Amino acid sequence: MNFDRILIRYGEMALKGKNRNHFEQVLQRNLTLKLRPFPNTKIRKTRDRMYVLLNGEEPNDVMKSCQEVFGIHSLSFAIKVEKKEEDLKEAALLAFTDASSAKTFKVSAKRTDKDFPIHSKELNPLLGGHILRNTEHVTVDVHNPDVEIKVEVRSDAAYVTAQDYPGAGGLPVGTTGKSLLLLSGGIDSPVSGYLTLKRGVELSAVHFHSPPYTSERAKQKVIDLAGVLSKYGNQVNVHVVPFTAIQQKIHREMPEGYSMTIMRRIMMRISELIARKEGILSLTTGESLGQVASQTMESMNAINEVTNYPIIRPLVSMDKLEIIDISRKINTYDISIRPYEDCCTVFVPKAPKTKPTREKAAYYESSTDFTKDVQTALQQTSVIQVKADTSSKEIEDEFNDLL
């Protein structure tokens, strides 16, 4: 006897009331996309739960993939057996042995099929005794067991589960809108993207590229980071904006202390234009308050002036170590530390203003017209589709009618 399915438990989406069905449908769609490498799997949704039928696929590989799908609180391998005493005993023993390190257990049986002749209170000692007779150094602990074996006798069959595996939590990607992530090659912005995906937000990305100051390897690093993020969502479109001419103009014509602030204001303007064209209603950044000169309260205030779009900043209250911990967990850290510069690390002023004002930023900008530079950058922007299998391809994207 082997596990033949994975039981999926919902997280907070269980509290969505009349909208719950929509959330479940999106979760089912995301699971279907995630499990494409396992063609024999089937997903079954019932009134209050979801199952992935394994149909011979390798259970642990399927479980690992399911754990990367947002909207799932926890998962368990499950066995569907006929409502026979011997089948239930064998399934309960298998469920216990799956939790290899468990030394204590309890059985929690539930009989929704009232025609089944063995009552729930009788099933618990019956199945528990079978486990004790077929294992060593194991005891029953009804208050704090290492593993709880759950048996549910329903009208169609009996279902047995044991060890719970953690899910990714959050909400299914695609249930709470779409955001444009300002994606650099650093540690922070991929983590910010991951946490935004976790809230059910679908992502596109924008990357500012400054050749020859930044290399093709730096761009590839961003594509690889987008590939990791797409594992947790779906396809991520990366808009690659050529930014060299604008950076050179800022470096040449703006006061050095304000160059970083003005660069980010122009980035924000370009990002909003891309978002508007794509029908996206928010921007996401990897800013963490107090981390660098451009992430002070005053700097954020000055940068915010140029857009009315909501800016999602999931990292704003985190310290660097917390961010690094997450980046290691989601496997973006090793990519982010590749030694290739991005546009934010070139033309860095020696003494950037940590308390810039909106008035001065606007005043300095008014002396130089960036309109044509922004228009040119948008017209030359390319879009790269990045999918979870790390494949990517460039697609046409015209901005000629945007300005």
Annotated binding site for ATP: 182-183, 207-208, 264, 286, 295
- d(Cα 220, Cα 330) in Å, to the nearest integer? 18
CB 182 within 8 A of CB 206: yes
CB 34 within 8 A of CB 110: no
CB 312 within 8 A of CB 283: yes
Side-chain half-sphere exposure of 345, counting CA atoms within 13 A: 11
| Residue 356, preceding peptide bond in cis (omega within 30° of 0) | no
Phi and psi for 82 in degrees, rounded to 5? -70, 155
Structure tokens at 67: 């754990």
Structure tokens at 396: 């046409």
Sheet holding 311-312, edge to edge: 311-312, 283-284, 178-182, 202-209, 236-242, 382-386, 392-395
- d(Cα 133, Cα 89) in Å, to the nearest integer? 11
Give the three-class secondary structure for 204.
Answer: strand
Measure the N-to-C terminal CA separation of the chain; round to a whole number of Å: 65
- d(Cα 245, Cα 242) in Å, to the nearest integer? 8
In the chain, the amino acid numbered 29 is R
Classify residue 66 by burial, with Cβ atoms within 10 Å: 0-12, 13-18, 19+: buried
- Binding-site annotation, residues: 182-183, 207-208, 264, 286, 295
- d(Cα 199, Cα 201) in Å, to the nearest integer? 6
Classify residue 86 by burial, with Cβ atoms within 10 Å: 0-12, 13-18, 19+: exposed
In which element (H, E) is residue 383 found?
strand 382-386
